[in-house]
Amino acid sequence: MPALAQSAPRVTFYLAVVALTLIAGRGPAILVMVSGAFAAAYLFVEPRFSLRPHTLEDFVWLAFYSLVSGAIIVAIESRTMAARLAKERLEAIEVEQQKRQRPNGKESSNSAGPCKRSPASAVQRSRRMPAARSPSLIVSRRS
């Protein structure tokens, strides 16, 4: 149990990284990650009030803290960026739909686009279109 009691204060640094990444972004979160590592080494690693970790356990904890904090920052930033891109795409689609609408509020006939047409309607259109004639047939009819 003493190992858990010694590492319990260190867990709060992870919470600080998560909270600051969500609120302020990547830059401030990296600053908190680095300052948290120094604060943990200074306050919780024996001998206290020294920045030098002396045991292998202390080095492993600092490396683990850095890797996990970095992964947290990358994961949250990726999620935030994906949500921002999705919002921008949705806004672009809405603007495009508004452009396609007529002034009286009705949509134009080609607003559905090729994606919303079913494959069956494509087959029906191809049956209505006349077959293309080869150039040799066109030349032979003129003479």
Write out pLDDT tens, residues 34-52. 998 888 888 877 777 777 7
Question: Residue 111 domain-assigned?
Answer: no
Tell me how many degrees the CA angle 86-92-94 measures, rounded to the nearest 5: 105
Q: How many domains does the chain have?
A: 1
Percentage of residues in the chain having pLDDT higher than 70 = 64
One-letter identity of residue 124: Q
Question: Residue 91 domain-assigned?
Answer: yes
pLDDT attached to residue 120:
54
Question: Residue 23 domain-assigned?
Answer: yes
Q: What is the mean pLDDT of residues 14-38?
A: 92
Q: What is the pLDDT of residues 102-137, one digit of tens each?
A: 665 555 555 555 555 555 555 555 555 455 554 544
Q: What are the residues facing 107 on neighbouring strands?
A: 101
Q: How far out from the chain centre does Cα 11 lie?
A: 26
Domain range spanning residue 49? 2-100
Question: Residue 126 domain-assigned?
Answer: no
| Residue 92 scores a pLDDT above 50 | yes
Burial pattern 22-48, b for ≥16 Cβ within 10 A else e, equals eeeeeeebbebbeebbebbbeebbeee
Question: Residue 109 domain-assigned?
Answer: no
Question: Residue 112 domain-assigned?
Answer: no
Place of tokens 């990358």: 74
Tell me the average pLDDT of the chain.
Answer: 76
| Residue 54 scores a pLDDT above 90 | no
Question: Residue 116 domain-assigned?
Answer: no
pTM: 0.59
Nearby residues of 68 by Cβ (< 8 Å), 6 or more positions away: 14
Question: Residue 40 domain-assigned?
Answer: yes
